[in-house]
Structure 1
Amino acid sequence: MTSYLISFVLCSGLLLLVYHVFLSRENLYRFNRFYLLFSLVFSMLVPVITVQIPHRLISNDIPIIEHITPVEQQQPAGQFTDEAVVGNNKLYAQQPVVSSTSYQPYLLPGIYIIVALLFLIRFILNLYRLKQKINRSDNLNLGNATLVLLDEDVTPHSFLKYIFINKHQYQNDATEPEIICHEQAHVRQLHSADVVFIELLQVICWFNPFMPFYRKAIQLNHEFLADEAVIKDHTDTPAYQYLLLAKAQQGNSLYLTSQFNYLTIKKRLIMMTKTTSEKTALCKKLGLLPVLAVAALLFSHKVMAYSLSAITTQADKPVKVTEAKKNDPTRPRRVLFATPSGSRTKHSIKDAPKNVIAAYDAILKKYNMQDGYGNIKEISDADTAALHALFVQMSIRQQDGQVVRFSKPLLPMPKNTTSKFWLAAWQKDKNYGVWIDGKRVKNETLANYKADDFDRYDYSRLTPAAIKSDGFRYQVDLMTRAYYADYYKTTMAYRPEKLEPLPERK
Structure 2
Amino acid sequence: MMQGVFTYLLESSLALVLVAIFYKLVLEDLTFFDLSRAFLLVLITCAAVLPLISIDFQWLAEDSVRRVNNSLPWLNGIENQNLILTEENNLSWYYVPLLVYLAGLFFRLVKLGFGIYRTLVLIAQSQKIETDSHTLVINPKFIPASFFNFILLPTYQENNSDQQQILLHESVHIQKGHSWDVLFVQLLKSVFWFNPAIYMLEKQLREVHEFQADQAVTSQYSPVAYSRLLLRQLRQDCGLQFMNNFNQFQTKKRIIMMNKSKSNGSLKSRFLLGVPMIVLMIGLFSCDMAFSESELTGVWKGTEFKFEQTAGPDLVAMVEGGRDLHIQSRLALNEDGTVQITSGQGEMNGSGTWVLKENQIVVSMGGEDTYYEILSLTDTELITKHEVEFETPMGKLAGTITLEYER
**TM-score of the aligned structures, taking structure 1 as reference length:** 0.51
RMSD between aligned residues: 3.6
Q: How do residues 37-116 of structure 1 correspond to structure 2 at under 5 angstroms? A: 37-50=41-54, 100=89, 103-116=92-105
Match in the other structure for 1:222: 209
Contact 1:156–1:253 (8 Å) recurs in 2: no
| Partner residue of 1:498 out of 327, 348, 351 | 351
Contact 2:168–2:217 (8 Å) recurs in 1: yes
Structure 2 residue matching 1:170: 3-state secondary structure? coil
Match in the other structure for 1:205: 192
Cα deviations by residue, 1:379-420 (Å, 9 ceiling, x for unpaired)? xxxxxxxxxxxxxxxxxxxxxxxxxxx847599xxxxxxxxx
Q: CA deviation at 1:273?
A: 2.4
Cα deviations by residue, 1:178-204 (Å, 9 ceiling, x for unpaired)? 011111111111110101111112223
1:255 corresponds to 2:108: no
Paired amino acid for 2:34: R
Q: How do residues 249-328 of structure 1 correspond to structure 2 at under 5 angstroms? A: 249=235, 252=238, 254-261=240-247, 263-304=249-290
Match in the other structure for 2:225: 239
Match in the other structure for 1:484: none
Q: How do residues 54-453 of structure 1 correspond to structure 2 at under 5 angstroms? A: 100=89, 103-152=92-141, 154-167=142-155, 170=157, 173=160, 176-232=163-219, 234-249=220-235, 252=238, 254-261=240-247, 263-304=249-290, 343=334, 407=338
More strand per residue: 1 or 2? 2
> Could you list the runs of 4 or more consecutive aligned residues of structure 1 that deviate by over 6 angstroms after TM superposition?
490-497
Match in the other structure for 1:426: none
Contact 1:155–1:253 (8 Å) recurs in 2: no
Which of these two proteins has the greater Rg computed from alpha carbons? 1
Cα deviations by residue, 1:81-126 (Å, 9 ceiling, x for unpaired)? xxxxxxxxxxxxxxxxxx9577434333333322211111111100
Larger RCO, structures 1/2 (Cα 8 Å, 6+ apart)? 1
Structure 1 residue matching 2:130: 3-state secondary structure? strand
Q: CA deviation at 1:261?
A: 2.0
Give aligned-pair identity as a percent: 24
Structure 1 residue matching 2:288: 3-state secondary structure? strand
Paired amino acid for 2:178: H
Distance 1:14 1:503 in 2: 31
Cα deviations by residue, 1:434-453 (Å, 9 ceiling, x for unpaired)? xxxxxxxxxxxxxxxxxxxx
Structure 1 residue matching 2:289: 3-state secondary structure? strand
Structure 1 residue matching 2:290: 3-state secondary structure? strand
Paired amino acid for 1:271: M
Distance 1:178 1:28 in 2: 22
**TM-score of the aligned structures, taking structure 2 as reference length:** 0.62
Distance 2:258 2:28 in 1: 13
Count of residues in correspondence between the two structures: 293
Distance 1:200 1:492 in 2: 51
